[in-house]
Every structure is written in C-alpha cells, then in structure tokens.
Amino acid sequence: MYPQYTEINFKWSNFLQGGLIFYVGGLYFFYRFVLVMSIFISQYSWIATSATVTQSSVSQTQEMNSRVRTYANFEYAYEVKGKPYKSSVFAATQLSLNSFEGVEKFKKGAKITIFYNPRSPKNAVVERKAPSFFVYFGLVVAFLFLFLGTGLTFLEM
C-alpha cells in the first residue's frame, strides 16, 4: 500500500574500505579542473607587452636504452617596470608539448607579443588558449569518483 524506501545509512566500514579513496580522487580531479579554469579565465585580464625570443631550438639526447628523446628549447625575455623576466611557457592551459609549438612559430631573436600577470609578472604566456579536452575529461572523472564514493559509503553494496 505504501511505497517502500531504501534506508540510507552512513557506513564507516564502507567509507574506509573504498569510499575515502574515491572521495580523495574525485576532489583531486575537481581541484585540478578549477585550477586550470581559473588560470584560463584570469589570463584575459593579463597585460600585453613585447618580448624577444632568446631560445628556439629542438635538441635530442641519446639514452642508455638507445632511445632518443627530443626536447624543445623555447624561451623569451621581457621587461615589466624595468625589471627583466624570462619565461618558457607558451600556453598555460596546455600540455608540455606547447614548447614545440613555440619553436615552430618563432625563431631566436623574433619580437613577439606576450601576456603577463600584473600581480605576478613572472607568469607569462605567448598565447591564451582554451584548456584541452583532458581538462574537461578530468571533470567527468571527478564526478564519477564522487558518485562511486557516495554509493559505496551510503548504500548497501
């Protein structure tokens, strides 16, 4: 006659056996998402200035296991209120491969426009890019982990 409701109880044993791991993982991925998005949004208030590319080359090193590693050496110098700064960040919200993009686009000695953080001029980027797909995928993983942690902790499983 009356609908039956499932009783939801917090279970310490379930929480300690796995719920805690899912909560920590979910909160970590959510923190990373918020951090990257806050950097992305704040870059649009950064100030443009000119810079000079001081390094723009690709180098390779031979490792002991006969594997060859390729590195991008990209760096630029700029001044803010008479104080010199250097940076190698091409786009703050991208993966480490963005240094290769800098080497491909700019040669040593080139004059470029960069954007620096007025509160912390040592933080600068050449391009303001939207976060990659992996940042949004991390948000999905965060919610999945939090959902699994909640299910494991509160439901009879």
Measured in whole angstroms, the distance separating CA 19 from the mean position of its chain's CA atoms is: 26
How wide is the angle at C-alpha 52 spanned by C-alphas 50 and 54, nearest 5°?
155
- The count of domains in the chain is 2
Q: Is residue 56 one of the residues assigned to a domain? A: yes
Q: Residue 74 falls within a domain, yes or no?
A: yes
Q: Is-contact 37 135, C-beta < 8 A?
A: yes
- Asked if residue 73 and residue 24 are part of one domain, the reply reads no
Question: Are residues 36 and 51 located together in one domain of the fold?
Answer: no
**Per-residue pLDDT at 26:** 93
Read off φ and ψ for residue 32, nearest 5 degrees.
Answer: -60, -40
Cα–Cα dist 34/123, whole Å: 18
CA atoms of 109 and 62, how far apart (whole Å):
28
Q: Tens digits of per-residue pLDDT, 28-56?
A: 999 999 988 888 888 889 999 999 999 88
Same domain, 110 and 64: yes
Q: Structure pTM? A: 0.66
pLDDT in tens, 49-93: 999 999 888 877 777 777 887 777 889 999 999 999 999 888 876
User: Would residue 6 count as lying in a domain?
Assistant: no
